[in-house]
Structure formats: structure tokens, C-alpha cells
Amino acid sequence: MEKILKDVVDAWGVDSQMDMMIEEMSELTKALLKLRRNHKNPDKYINDICEEIADVDLMLSQMKYIFSDELIEKYKKEKLVRLQQRLDKHNKK
């Protein structure tokens, strides 16, 4: 997968792939909003949402390749610690 990510970024460039990330996130947002507006028939929207999640996930892999996966992982660990602390406080109520 690493080679594909490198080849894609090399072929189309960082700016183009950042634009694609934004576009894919927008499409996922739209798919989720359609489900929320039509919650009585969720099966109609599940496939679209799953496809958009796959697109965003692939683009996210490219963003990690571009922007340093190691640094991103560092921030994720810090945020998970804070999230656990918030969850603990919430559960004590």
C-alpha cells in the first residue's frame, strides 16, 4: 500500500490529493446527512455511507503519508488519553 500511496502523490501532487481529501470528506458528510434526514429507511443509505467511508479512509492514508504518520500517531495517543479521561468523568455522573 505504501508504494501505491507514494505513486499516487507523485503522479498527481500534494495539492491535488488535499483537494481530493476535502471532496471525499464532503461526500461522506452529504451521505451521513441524507441518512439523518431519512432515518426511517436507513438501509437505502448504508451502502453509500460505507463507500464514502472507504474513499475517506484511502485519502486519509495519503494524508498520513504526506504529513508524517508518526507525528499523527503521537497526537492520536494524546487525544485518546484525554478522551478516556472525559469518558471516565462522564461515567461517574
Q: For every one of its 93 residues, what pLDDT tens digit does the chain have, with 9 covering 90 and above?
A: 889 999 999 999 999 999 999 999 999 999 999 999 987 778 889 999 999 999 999 999 999 999 998 999 999 999 999 999 999 999 997
Residue 82 belongs to a domain:
no
Q: How many domains does the chain fold into?
A: 1
Residue 62 belongs to a domain:
yes
Instruction: Report yes or no: 9 and 65 within 8 Å, Cβ to Cβ.
Output: yes
Residue 48 belongs to a domain:
yes
Residue 84 belongs to a domain:
no
Q: How far apart are CA 48 and CA 30, in angstroms?
A: 10
Residue 46 belongs to a domain:
yes
Instruction: Report yes or no: 65 and 6 within 8 Å, Cβ to Cβ.
Output: yes
13 DSSP 8-state letter: -
Domain span at 12: 2-68
Confidence (pTM): 0.85
Q: What per-residue string of b and e applies to 15-25 under the rule 16 or more CB within 10 Å gives b?
A: eebeebbeebe
Residue 43 belongs to a domain:
yes
